[in-house]
Amino acid sequence: MIDKELEPQDHADPLRRAGYEAERQMGHYLRRAFAEDPNRFVFHNLRLERRGEAAQLDHLILHRSGLLVVESKSVAGQVSVNGHGEWTRWWKGQGRGMPSPVLQARRQLDLLLALLGDHTAELMDRSLLGLRQRTFAGVRGDVLVAVSDNGRIDRGTDVPELVKADQVPDRVKAVLQAGHARTFGSFGFTDAELTRLRAFLRSRHVPGPLQTGTSPAPRPRPRPDSRSAAPVRTSQERQAQARPRPDMACRACGGTDLSVQSGKYGYYFKCAGCAGNTPAKPVCAQCGQPGKVSRRGPAFTATCTGGHTWPYWTNPA
Protein backbone atom coordinates (compact mmCIF):
# COMPACT_ATOMS: atom_id res chain seq x y z
CA MET A 1 0.00 0.00 0.00
CA ILE A 2 1.11 3.57 -0.64
CA ASP A 3 0.82 5.45 2.67
CA LYS A 4 2.47 8.68 1.52
CA GLU A 5 2.71 9.86 -2.07
CA LEU A 6 5.71 11.66 -3.54
CA GLU A 7 5.29 15.40 -3.10
CA PRO A 8 5.49 17.33 -6.42
CA GLN A 9 8.54 19.57 -6.72
CA ASP A 10 9.75 22.12 -9.27
CA HIS A 11 13.51 22.60 -9.03
CA ALA A 12 15.35 25.22 -11.09
CA ASP A 13 18.72 23.59 -10.41
CA PRO A 14 19.35 20.81 -12.99
CA LEU A 15 20.96 18.47 -10.46
CA ARG A 16 18.06 18.78 -8.04
CA ARG A 17 15.60 18.32 -10.88
CA ALA A 18 17.41 15.16 -11.98
CA GLY A 19 17.34 13.88 -8.40
CA TYR A 20 13.59 14.40 -8.21
CA GLU A 21 13.11 12.56 -11.53
CA ALA A 22 15.09 9.62 -10.10
CA GLU A 23 12.76 9.57 -7.08
CA ARG A 24 9.72 9.73 -9.38
CA GLN A 25 11.04 6.82 -11.44
CA MET A 26 11.64 4.76 -8.30
CA GLY A 27 8.19 5.69 -7.02
CA HIS A 28 6.67 4.31 -10.22
CA TYR A 29 8.37 0.94 -9.76
CA LEU A 30 7.38 0.71 -6.07
CA ARG A 31 3.77 1.59 -6.89
CA ARG A 32 3.58 -1.13 -9.52
CA ALA A 33 4.99 -3.65 -7.05
CA PHE A 34 3.34 -2.77 -3.73
CA ALA A 35 0.30 -0.49 -4.26
CA GLU A 36 -2.07 -3.43 -3.72
CA ASP A 37 0.07 -5.29 -1.17
CA PRO A 38 -1.73 -5.18 2.22
CA ASN A 39 1.42 -6.15 4.15
CA ARG A 40 3.97 -3.60 2.80
CA PHE A 41 3.46 0.11 3.36
CA VAL A 42 5.38 2.59 1.21
CA PHE A 43 6.22 6.19 2.17
CA HIS A 44 7.75 8.49 -0.46
CA ASN A 45 9.84 11.57 0.32
CA LEU A 46 9.41 11.27 4.11
CA ARG A 47 11.21 13.95 6.11
CA LEU A 48 11.57 13.45 9.87
CA GLU A 49 13.10 15.62 12.58
CA ARG A 50 14.59 14.64 15.94
CA ARG A 51 16.45 16.89 18.38
CA GLY A 52 17.50 19.41 15.78
CA GLU A 53 18.51 16.83 13.15
CA ALA A 54 16.57 15.83 10.03
CA ALA A 55 16.44 12.70 7.89
CA GLN A 56 15.18 12.82 4.30
CA LEU A 57 14.02 9.33 3.34
CA ASP A 58 13.49 9.06 -0.42
CA HIS A 59 11.44 5.87 -0.01
CA LEU A 60 10.59 3.89 3.13
CA ILE A 61 8.94 0.47 3.21
CA LEU A 62 7.37 -0.62 6.49
CA HIS A 63 6.80 -4.37 6.70
CA ARG A 64 6.01 -7.02 9.29
CA SER A 65 9.65 -7.60 10.27
CA GLY A 66 10.99 -4.05 10.12
CA LEU A 67 11.92 -1.12 7.88
CA LEU A 68 13.67 -0.79 4.53
CA VAL A 69 15.03 2.52 3.17
CA VAL A 70 15.56 3.03 -0.58
CA GLU A 71 17.89 5.90 -1.52
CA SER A 72 17.43 7.11 -5.12
CA LYS A 73 20.48 8.37 -7.02
CA SER A 74 20.34 10.10 -10.40
CA VAL A 75 23.27 8.86 -12.49
CA ALA A 76 23.43 9.96 -16.15
CA GLY A 77 26.88 8.45 -16.71
CA GLN A 78 28.50 5.89 -14.46
CA VAL A 79 29.04 5.31 -10.77
CA SER A 80 31.89 3.15 -9.44
CA VAL A 81 32.93 1.81 -6.05
CA ASN A 82 36.51 0.71 -5.38
CA GLY A 83 37.84 -1.87 -2.93
CA HIS A 84 38.02 0.71 -0.15
CA GLY A 85 34.33 1.54 -0.44
CA GLU A 86 35.03 4.92 -2.07
CA TRP A 87 32.41 6.14 -4.54
CA THR A 88 33.06 8.03 -7.80
CA ARG A 89 30.57 9.54 -10.23
CA TRP A 90 31.75 9.61 -13.88
CA TRP A 91 30.60 11.86 -16.71
CA LYS A 92 32.31 12.17 -20.12
CA GLY A 93 35.46 10.53 -18.79
CA GLN A 94 35.74 12.83 -15.78
CA GLY A 95 35.42 11.34 -12.31
CA ARG A 96 34.37 13.12 -9.14
CA GLY A 97 34.23 11.63 -5.66
CA MET A 98 30.89 11.42 -3.85
CA PRO A 99 29.78 10.46 -0.34
CA SER A 100 28.65 6.88 0.09
CA PRO A 101 24.86 6.79 -0.41
CA VAL A 102 24.78 3.49 1.49
CA LEU A 103 26.18 5.17 4.62
CA GLN A 104 23.84 8.12 4.01
CA ALA A 105 20.83 5.80 3.94
CA ARG A 106 22.00 4.01 7.09
CA ARG A 107 22.33 7.32 8.97
CA GLN A 108 18.79 8.18 7.96
CA LEU A 109 17.59 4.78 9.12
CA ASP A 110 19.42 5.25 12.44
CA LEU A 111 17.65 8.57 13.05
CA LEU A 112 14.31 6.98 12.21
CA LEU A 113 14.89 4.12 14.65
CA ALA A 114 15.98 6.58 17.36
CA LEU A 115 12.80 8.60 16.81
CA LEU A 116 10.66 5.47 17.05
CA GLY A 117 12.54 4.44 20.18
CA ASP A 118 11.61 7.76 21.80
CA HIS A 119 7.96 6.73 21.43
CA THR A 120 8.20 3.05 22.31
CA ALA A 121 5.40 3.11 24.87
CA GLU A 122 3.02 4.80 22.41
CA LEU A 123 3.80 2.56 19.45
CA MET A 124 4.55 -0.91 20.81
CA ASP A 125 2.34 -3.42 22.61
CA ARG A 126 2.92 -4.88 26.03
CA SER A 127 3.45 -8.65 26.31
CA LEU A 128 3.28 -11.24 29.09
CA LEU A 129 -0.16 -10.14 30.29
CA GLY A 130 0.81 -6.49 29.99
CA LEU A 131 3.82 -6.76 32.31
CA ARG A 132 6.59 -6.31 29.73
CA GLN A 133 6.96 -3.49 27.22
CA ARG A 134 7.85 -4.61 23.70
CA THR A 135 10.64 -2.55 22.11
CA PHE A 136 12.27 -1.99 18.72
CA ALA A 137 15.34 -4.00 19.77
CA GLY A 138 14.62 -6.84 17.31
CA VAL A 139 13.46 -4.75 14.38
CA ARG A 140 15.12 -5.50 11.03
CA GLY A 141 16.60 -2.49 9.23
CA ASP A 142 17.80 -2.63 5.60
CA VAL A 143 18.90 -0.10 2.98
CA LEU A 144 19.11 -0.15 -0.81
CA VAL A 145 20.64 2.41 -3.18
CA ALA A 146 18.80 2.69 -6.50
CA VAL A 147 20.71 4.05 -9.51
CA SER A 148 18.50 5.50 -12.24
CA ASP A 149 17.85 3.24 -15.24
CA ASN A 150 20.00 5.23 -17.66
CA GLY A 151 23.07 5.06 -15.41
CA ARG A 152 25.80 2.43 -15.34
CA ILE A 153 27.41 0.69 -12.36
CA ASP A 154 31.10 -0.26 -12.29
CA ARG A 155 31.45 -2.81 -9.49
CA GLY A 156 35.08 -2.76 -8.44
CA THR A 157 33.88 -4.43 -5.25
CA ASP A 158 30.67 -6.13 -4.22
CA VAL A 159 28.12 -3.68 -2.78
CA PRO A 160 24.96 -5.76 -2.23
CA GLU A 161 22.91 -2.65 -1.43
CA LEU A 162 23.60 -1.09 -4.86
CA VAL A 163 21.07 -1.93 -7.62
CA LYS A 164 19.48 -0.42 -10.73
CA ALA A 165 16.09 1.19 -10.12
CA ASP A 166 14.09 -1.39 -12.11
CA GLN A 167 15.61 -4.20 -10.02
CA VAL A 168 14.61 -2.71 -6.66
CA PRO A 169 11.14 -4.33 -6.31
CA ASP A 170 12.55 -7.84 -6.76
CA ARG A 171 15.43 -7.08 -4.40
CA VAL A 172 12.98 -5.71 -1.80
CA LYS A 173 10.91 -8.89 -2.01
CA ALA A 174 14.04 -11.04 -1.61
CA VAL A 175 15.20 -9.03 1.41
CA LEU A 176 11.79 -9.28 3.08
CA GLN A 177 11.49 -13.00 2.43
CA ALA A 178 14.96 -13.60 3.88
CA GLY A 179 14.15 -11.41 6.86
CA HIS A 180 10.92 -13.26 7.52
CA ALA A 181 12.74 -16.60 7.46
CA ARG A 182 15.38 -15.40 9.93
CA THR A 183 13.06 -13.57 12.32
CA PHE A 184 10.14 -16.00 12.31
CA GLY A 185 9.20 -16.73 15.88
CA SER A 186 11.38 -13.97 17.36
CA PHE A 187 10.15 -10.58 16.12
CA GLY A 188 7.32 -9.20 14.05
CA PHE A 189 5.09 -6.16 14.32
CA THR A 190 1.51 -6.91 15.36
CA ASP A 191 -1.42 -5.53 13.35
CA ALA A 192 -2.04 -2.91 16.03
CA GLU A 193 1.62 -1.87 16.04
CA LEU A 194 1.64 -1.52 12.25
CA THR A 195 -1.47 0.66 12.44
CA ARG A 196 0.12 2.94 15.02
CA LEU A 197 3.44 3.09 13.15
CA ARG A 198 1.73 4.11 9.91
CA ALA A 199 -0.21 6.86 11.62
CA PHE A 200 2.88 8.03 13.52
CA LEU A 201 5.06 8.28 10.41
CA ARG A 202 2.42 10.26 8.54
CA SER A 203 1.97 12.64 11.45
CA ARG A 204 5.70 13.23 11.95
CA HIS A 205 6.44 14.23 8.34
CA VAL A 206 7.82 17.79 8.20
CA PRO A 207 7.88 19.12 4.62
CA GLY A 208 11.12 20.81 3.61
CA PRO A 209 11.35 24.00 1.55
CA LEU A 210 10.63 23.44 -2.13
CA GLN A 211 13.19 24.77 -4.59
CA THR A 212 11.01 26.38 -7.23
CA GLY A 213 13.65 28.53 -8.93
CA THR A 214 11.88 31.75 -8.05
CA SER A 215 12.41 33.89 -5.00
CA PRO A 216 9.25 34.67 -3.04
CA ALA A 217 8.24 38.28 -2.91
CA PRO A 218 9.42 39.92 0.31
CA ARG A 219 6.72 40.25 2.90
CA PRO A 220 6.00 43.72 4.18
CA ARG A 221 7.56 44.30 7.56
CA PRO A 222 4.84 44.90 10.16
CA ARG A 223 4.90 48.21 11.97
CA PRO A 224 5.95 47.99 15.62
CA ASP A 225 2.95 47.64 17.88
CA SER A 226 3.48 46.80 21.52
CA ARG A 227 -0.09 45.63 21.83
CA SER A 228 0.36 42.85 19.26
CA ALA A 229 4.01 41.98 19.78
CA ALA A 230 4.60 38.23 20.14
CA PRO A 231 7.73 36.16 20.67
CA VAL A 232 9.27 34.60 17.58
CA ARG A 233 8.55 30.86 17.46
CA THR A 234 10.92 28.24 16.16
CA SER A 235 9.81 25.96 13.32
CA GLN A 236 9.30 23.11 15.78
CA GLU A 237 7.09 25.26 17.99
CA ARG A 238 5.02 26.31 14.97
CA GLN A 239 4.75 22.63 14.05
CA ALA A 240 3.50 21.73 17.51
CA GLN A 241 0.94 24.56 17.44
CA ALA A 242 -0.27 23.48 14.01
CA ARG A 243 -0.76 19.89 15.15
CA PRO A 244 -2.13 20.09 18.70
CA ARG A 245 -3.60 16.57 18.59
CA PRO A 246 -1.03 13.80 18.12
CA ASP A 247 -2.07 11.10 15.67
CA MET A 248 -2.60 8.53 18.41
CA ALA A 249 -4.08 5.07 18.15
CA CYS A 250 -5.10 2.51 20.75
CA ARG A 251 -2.20 0.12 21.33
CA ALA A 252 -4.65 -2.78 21.79
CA CYS A 253 -6.90 -2.47 18.73
CA GLY A 254 -5.47 0.43 16.71
CA GLY A 255 -8.67 2.47 17.14
CA THR A 256 -8.60 6.28 17.16
CA ASP A 257 -11.79 7.04 19.12
CA LEU A 258 -9.86 8.10 22.23
CA SER A 259 -10.17 10.39 25.22
CA VAL A 260 -7.63 11.34 27.86
CA GLN A 261 -8.42 10.10 31.39
CA SER A 262 -6.53 10.32 34.66
CA GLY A 263 -5.64 7.38 36.88
CA LYS A 264 -3.34 6.19 39.62
CA TYR A 265 -0.26 6.51 37.40
CA GLY A 266 -1.19 9.74 35.64
CA TYR A 267 -2.94 10.49 32.35
CA TYR A 268 -3.72 7.86 29.73
CA PHE A 269 -5.85 7.41 26.58
CA LYS A 270 -9.06 5.41 26.95
CA CYS A 271 -10.31 3.69 23.78
CA ALA A 272 -14.07 3.84 23.22
CA GLY A 273 -13.86 0.82 20.91
CA CYS A 274 -12.21 -1.82 23.11
CA ALA A 275 -11.89 0.02 26.46
CA GLY A 276 -8.12 -0.45 26.29
CA ASN A 277 -5.64 1.98 27.87
CA THR A 278 -2.66 3.62 26.15
CA PRO A 279 -0.11 5.75 28.08
CA ALA A 280 -0.16 9.49 27.36
CA LYS A 281 3.52 10.28 26.95
CA PRO A 282 4.01 13.48 24.94
CA VAL A 283 7.45 14.35 23.60
CA CYS A 284 8.47 17.93 22.84
CA ALA A 285 8.83 18.59 19.09
CA GLN A 286 11.43 21.27 19.81
CA CYS A 287 13.94 19.61 22.13
CA GLY A 288 12.86 15.95 22.22
CA GLN A 289 12.35 15.93 26.01
CA PRO A 290 9.36 14.14 27.60
CA GLY A 291 6.41 16.31 28.57
CA LYS A 292 4.10 16.43 31.57
CA VAL A 293 0.37 16.63 30.88
CA SER A 294 -1.92 19.13 32.60
CA ARG A 295 -5.66 19.64 32.21
CA ARG A 296 -8.02 22.56 31.91
CA GLY A 297 -11.54 21.39 31.18
CA PRO A 298 -11.57 19.17 28.07
CA ALA A 299 -8.23 20.58 26.87
CA PHE A 300 -4.84 19.14 27.78
CA THR A 301 -1.46 20.80 27.45
CA ALA A 302 2.04 19.38 27.81
CA THR A 303 5.13 21.01 29.29
CA CYS A 304 8.60 19.52 28.86
CA THR A 305 11.61 19.79 31.17
CA GLY A 306 13.05 22.36 28.75
CA GLY A 307 10.20 24.76 29.55
CA HIS A 308 8.28 24.43 26.26
CA THR A 309 4.47 24.19 26.41
CA TRP A 310 2.14 23.11 23.61
CA PRO A 311 -1.49 21.97 23.13
CA TYR A 312 -1.57 18.19 23.46
CA TRP A 313 -5.15 16.89 23.24
CA THR A 314 -8.79 17.96 23.45
CA ASN A 315 -11.37 15.41 24.54
CA PRO A 316 -14.48 15.10 22.37
CA ALA A 317 -17.56 16.84 23.71
* Stretch (H or E) spanning 258: strand 258-263
In the predicted model, is pLDDT for residue 193 greater than 50? yes
Q: What residues have CB less than 8 Å from 110, skipping those under 6 apart?
A: none
**pTM, to two decimals:** 0.65
Specify whether the CB–CB gap between 32 and 25 falls below 8 A.
no
Q: Which of 32-41, 76-85, 253-262 has the highest mean pLDDT?
A: 32-41
pLDDT at position 288, please? 64
Could you tell me which residue, 197 or 92, shows the higher pLDDT?
197
Q: Which of 59-63, 219-223, 251-255, 308-312 has the highest mean pLDDT?
A: 59-63
What confidence score (pLDDT) does residue 94 get? 77
Q: Which positions ≥6 away from 83 have C-beta within 8 Å? A: 156, 157
Indicate the range of 59-68, 241-250, 292-301, 307-316 predicted with least confidence.
Answer: 241-250
Instruction: Give the Cα separation of 91 and 109 in Å (integer).
Output: 30
pLDDT for 69: 96
pLDDT confidence of residue 231: 39
| CB 95, CB 28: distance < 8 Å | no
**pLDDT of amino acid 138:** 84
Distance between CA atoms of 102 and 146, rounded to whole angstroms? Answer: 10
Above 90 in pLDDT, residue 78?
Answer: no
pLDDT at 160 over 80: yes
Write down the mean pLDDT value for the chain. 80
3-state secondary structure of 120: helix
Listed as own residue / partner, the contacts of 36-41 with beta carbons closer than 8 Å and 24 or more positions apart are 36/1, 37/1, 38/1, 39/63, 39/64, 40/1, 40/172, 40/176, 41/1, 41/3, 41/194, 41/198
Mean pLDDT across 237-265: 65
**Burial bucket for residue 220 (CB in 10 Å: 0-12, 13-18, 19+):** exposed
Residue 213 has pLDDT above 60, yes or no: no
Q: Which of 72, 243, 244 is nearest to 166 (CA)?
A: 72
- Radius of gyration (C-alpha) of the chain in whole angstroms: 22
- Residues 26-33 have a mean pLDDT of 92
Query: What is the structure's pLDDT at 205?
Result: 93
> pLDDT tens across 227-244, in order?
333 334 343 333 333 334
End-to-end CA distance of the chain: 34
**Position 223 confidence tier, pLDDT thresholds 50, 70, 90:** very low
- pLDDT value of residue 215: 39
Enumerate the β-bridge partners of residue 292.
303
Residue type, 222: P
Which pLDDT does position 85 carry in this prediction?
80
The pLDDT value given to residue 237: 38
Task: Find all residues with CB under 8 Å of 186, minimum gap 6, and list them.
Answer: 138
Instruction: Indicate the range of 76-90, 220-234, 271-285 predicted with least confidence.
Output: 220-234
